[in-house]
Amino acid sequence: MKFEVTKEWCMKMARLEHEHGTDVEIGAGLFAADPSTQQPEYTVQESADPRIAFGRFVRLMRRGRKQTLEKLAEDADIDITELVEIEEDSHYTPEPRTVYQLASYFAIPSAKMMQLAGLSQQRDSHLVSEAIRFAARSEKVTDLNETERSALDAFVAVLSEQK
């Protein structure tokens, strides 16, 4: 492909774009049609899937704060139905914004939360193994017991590690 534009052309067109002010946000494409929703075969299909730990992690963080699902959804500004999916379905892939909101709310680095949620490629094998270890140690029981508390604290420490 040939592509030659002058500085003058770029500036003139950029000013034209700018003149249209706040009404214009240039974008195109179907907003609900991420390829991911059309091609379910593209998901992180590693044998050690950290998503197993993601829902468990969110659940324990919520319970550790003695929050209801509604309260967490409201405080983190996420959709309640998605929060239920996250906690109940270990293979559910959440929206990127939801993961970012949860990461901000729990004060965990968003990149690691994205990886944990299966939204970014695994760049950190240590995190994957820690996630699986965490999932194995944390049982789905009503109260946050000592074992779960200890597993959660250890996992938060791993997630908070700065590389």
Partner 1 sequence: MSEFQIYLLEVASDAPIEGSLIEGITEANVNDWEDAWMPALARALQQLKEKGVDRRLWPQSRHWDWRRKAEAFKGLLAAPSFSIVCQGMTQGLMIVETLESCRLLQQKGKPLVYIQYLETAPWNRPGLTTERPRLTGVGTLLVRAAIELSRSEGFGGRIGLHSLPQANAWYANVCGMSDLGIDPTKENLRYFEMTPEQADAFIAKGV
Residues contributing to the site for partner 1 (CB under 8 A): 1-5, 7-18, 20-36, 39, 42, 77, 95-97, 100-101, 104, 110-111, 114, 119-121
Q: Which is nearer to partner 1, 36 or 150 (CB)?
A: 36
**52 torsion bin: left (phi>0), alpha (psi -120 to 50), beta (else):** alpha
Neighbouring CB atoms inside 10 A of 62's CB total 22
Q: 15, 48 in Cβ contact below 8 A? A: no
Taking the complex as a whole, how short is the minimal distance between the CB of residue 15 and partner 1, in angstroms?
Answer: 6
Going by C-beta distance under 8 Å and a sequence separation of 6 or more, which residues neighbour residue 94?
54, 82, 85, 86, 117, 119
Q: Which is nearer to partner 1, 44 or 158 (CB)?
A: 44
Taking the complex as a whole, how short is the minimal distance between the CB of residue 3 and partner 1, in angstroms?
Answer: 4
- Cα(first)–Cα(last) distance of the chain, in Å? 40
Chain position carrying tokens 């906690």 = 87
Q: With residue 15 as reference, give the H or E element that holds it.
A: helix 7-19
Q: How far from chain centre, in Å, is Cα 17?
A: 33
Taking the complex as a whole, how short is the minimal distance between the CB of residue 5 and partner 1, in angstroms?
Answer: 6
